Amino acid sequence: MSARLEIEGLTHSYGGDEPALSELTLSVEPGELVALLGPSGCGKTTALKVVAGLLSPTHGDVRIGGESVLGVPPERRGAAMVFQKSLLFPHMTVEGNVGFGLRMRGVPRGEARGRVERALKRVRIEGFAGRKPGALSGGQQQRVALARALVTEPRLLLLDEPLSALDANLREGMRELIKEVQREGDHTTVFVTHDQEEAVVLADRIALVTGGRLRMYDHPEAFYERPLSREIAEFFGATNFLRGQARNGCVETPLGTLRLEHPAPPGEVTLTIRPEAVRLEGGENSFSARVRGVTYLGTQVLYGLDVSGGVHLRAALPPHTRLAVGDEVTARLPAESLWALADGETTPG
């Protein structure tokens, strides 16, 4: 049922100086959930609309199940889309809304009823079949919108920020539901979001887009452990950056010579390390530091550290760590957690 989605060299211009989307190439495996992640205005929705057939690309190709769908109208692409706002018909019941697409396709009434029932069950809203959308909460409306997409048994599920209008608690529950439904149905899914945490929680792979271009396409953990550029690292919350000169697997920095497990490209590099990987202990890659700030976050404590050479680092430690501003400590940057970013513009290889 689920199909491979291939997007190749997709460019779309609305007529401005810069295209909204430039040369986007990525492939989504059958049954995979890919998050299209990026800041507002980066071209995510444009990409999704081109895939759905709501926009024609300036150039490039979209293939679903190995076949180009560029000349195929939206309703015959086998793709179902869920939008940020549920766009339900207010005068129809939940059942009516979910079954609408089936009626349009001429599916016999009895079969349609069974399919609607199953779709409502999958999103756990079967008790609301007779209600009108106005009598549902925002989260329930989005579940109806999801059921309306699922009922058509799409080859491809396209979700455009479906949770962004919901409050934090509800969003968490809905993420779990979407993941469950997606796994059960083995739906090839593209999920658009500007929320990095949401992308990490939901996606098998993340495609990070900024300024209309794909910057990195990989598994969530790669964005934390092996970001391709400083911009990408920062998008994922990295704050520790250290300039240095790479030579023979080591990097000379203002903190001394640091050894790296992952090879660094020779020359000027920027090193990065996640705050949670910084250790307060001696050993390889260790140095003296002074605590300059303490922020208690409940599940961890964030320490700001002043190091020689005007370097500042952040360390996230377990909440029972008790250090005060001004304390002298020994900090260590484990070789396996240090990552060297090459200078200059990088694009996914």
Q: How far apart are CA 309 and CA 329, in angstroms?
A: 16
Nearer to ligand ATP, 4 or 194 (CB): 194
Q: How far apart are CA 57 and CA 244, in angstroms?
A: 43
Of the residues 22, 46, 142, 285, which one makes contact with ligand ATP according to CB under 6 A: 46
Binding segment toward ligand ATP, per CB under 6 A, in 39-47, 145-153, 165-173, 319-327: 39-47
Q: Give the count of residues interacting with ligand ATP (CB under 6 A).
A: 11
Q: What is the DSSP string of 268-317?
A: EEEEE--GGG-BSS-STTEEEEEEEEEEE-SS-EEEEEEEGGGEEEEEEE
Nearer to ligand ATP, 17 or 345 (CB): 17
Question: Using CB under 6 A, which residues numbered 323 to 342 contact ligand ATP?
Answer: none
Binding segment toward ligand ATP, per CB under 6 A, in 41-49, 214-222, 251-259, 341-349: 41-49
Q: How far apart are CA 69 and CA 8, in angstroms?
A: 12
Binding segment toward ligand ATP, per CB under 6 A, in 40-48, 68-76, 293-301, 305-313: 40-48
Residue with tokens 């098998």: 204
* CB environment 167-177: b (16+ within 10 A), e (fewer): eeebbeebbeb
Of the residues 42, 120, 190, 233, which one makes contact with ligand ATP according to CB under 6 A: 42
Q: How far apart are CA 198 and CA 223, in angstroms?
A: 14
Rounded least distance, CB 243 to ligand ATP, Å? 32
Question: Using CB under 6 A, which residues numbered 170 to 209 contact ligand ATP?
Answer: 194
Of the residues 5, 33, 35, 45, which one makes contact with ligand ATP according to CB under 6 A: 45
* DSSP-assigned beta bridge partners for residue 36: 192, 207
Binding segment toward ligand ATP, per CB under 6 A, in 43-51, 87-95, 116-124, 180-188: 43-51
Q: Which conformational region is residue 132 in: left (phi greater than 0), alpha (psi within -120 to 50 degrees), or beta?
A: beta
Nearer to ligand ATP, 43 or 57 (CB): 43
Using CB under 6 A as the binding rule, whether residue 2 contacts ligand ATP is answered as no
Cα 138 → chain centroid: 22
Nearer to ligand ATP, 10 or 151 (CB): 10
Task: Give whole-number Cα distances, 159 to 61, 80, 280, in Å.
Answer: 20, 8, 43
Of the residues 1, 9, 41, 282, which one makes contact with ligand ATP according to CB under 6 A: 41
Rounded least distance, CB 41 to ligand ATP, Å? 4
| E strand residue ranges, 32-178 | 33-37, 59-64, 67-68, 79-82, 156-160
Nearer to ligand ATP, 14 or 296 (CB): 14
Binding segment toward ligand ATP, per CB under 6 A, in 44-52, 135-143, 267-275, 326-334: 44-52
Rounded least distance, CB 44 to ligand ATP, Å? 4
Question: Using CB under 6 A, which residues numbered 6 to 35 contact ligand ATP?
Answer: 14, 20
Six-digit token string for 246: 């790479």
* DSSP-assigned beta bridge partners for residue 250: 247, 259
What is the binding site for ligand ATP (CB under 6 A)? 14, 20, 38, 40-46, 194
